[in-house]
């Protein structure tokens, strides 16, 4: 068995920080509903267990939570794992929160108002990362650049 990479490092290597919103966007795998996901080895379970990345991030920064606690987003960006954007609630809070925010309205309105990324690339339809386009407008040029960096770093780790 190889040495285990700490969860904090595994999270860190898959985060892309979006400065305008302060969101830490997950660059790893996503669930169908758009939440970041990380596979973990869990004692007593065969094979890796897929775990929500924002939940892991919350636990990493604030400590353990109960199984039936929900980790919710203040920023409304599902792939975001910035602990400052996360808060704890139960399932009812989750439903209430979605209604209060008018989820579809708020974030997409903010996003639509943005025309350029932090590096000045135009956020045209062609320059958005497709996986996130309905949840956040992320510049494809900067994104690819960062993915390249991530890959290089990961290559180094594995060498």
Instruction: Write each residue from 130 to 149 as x if it is in contact with Zn ion (CB under 5 A), else as -, in one continuous string.
Output: ---------x-xx-------
Q: How far is the CB of 36 from Zn ion (least distance, A)?
A: 11
Write out the binding residues for Zn ion, residues 70-129 only, by CB under 5 A.
Answer: 75, 77, 80, 82, 85, 117, 119, 121
Residue 11 near residue 38 (C-beta atoms within 8 A): yes
Instruction: Write each residue from 29 to 68 as x if it is in contact with Zn ion (CB under 5 A), else as -, in one continuous string.
Output: ----------------------------------------
Q: CA–CA separation, 129 vs 141, rounded Å?
A: 9
Residue 52 near residue 36 (C-beta atoms within 8 A): yes
Q: How far is the CB of 124 from Zn ion (least distance, A)?
A: 11
Q: In the block, which residue shows the tokens 């409304």?
A: 76
Nearer to Zn ion, 52 or 85 (CB): 85
Nearer to Zn ion, 83 or 93 (CB): 83
Q: Which residues of 41-75 are buried (b: 16+ CB within 10 A; e: fewer)?
A: eeeeeeeeeeebbbbbbbbbeeeeeeeebbbbbeb
Q: CA–CA separation, 137 vs 108, rounded Å?
A: 9
By the criterion CB under 5 A, which residues form the site for Zn ion?
23, 75, 77, 80, 82, 85, 117, 119, 121, 139, 141-142
């Amino acid at each position: 068995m190889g040495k285990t990479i700490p969860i904090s490092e595994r999270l860190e290597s898959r985060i892309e920080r979006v400065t305008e919103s302060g969101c830490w966007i997950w660059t790893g795998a996503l669930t169908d509903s758009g939440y970041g996901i990380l596979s973990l080895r869990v004692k007593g379970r065969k094979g890796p267990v897929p775990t929500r990345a924002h939940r892991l991030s919350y636990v990493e920064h604030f400590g353990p939570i109960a199984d039936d606690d929900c980790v919710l987003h203040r920023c409304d960006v599902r792939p975001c794992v910035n602990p400052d954007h996360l808060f704890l609630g139960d399932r009812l809070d989750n439903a209430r929160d979605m209604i209060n925010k008018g989820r579809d309205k708020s974030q997409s309105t903010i996003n639509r108002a943005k025309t350029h990324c932090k590096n000045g690339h135009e956020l045209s339809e062609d320059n958005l990362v497709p996986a996130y386009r309905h949840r956040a407008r992320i510049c494809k040029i900067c994104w690819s650049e960062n993915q390249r960096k991530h890959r290089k770093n990961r290559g180094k780790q594995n060498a």
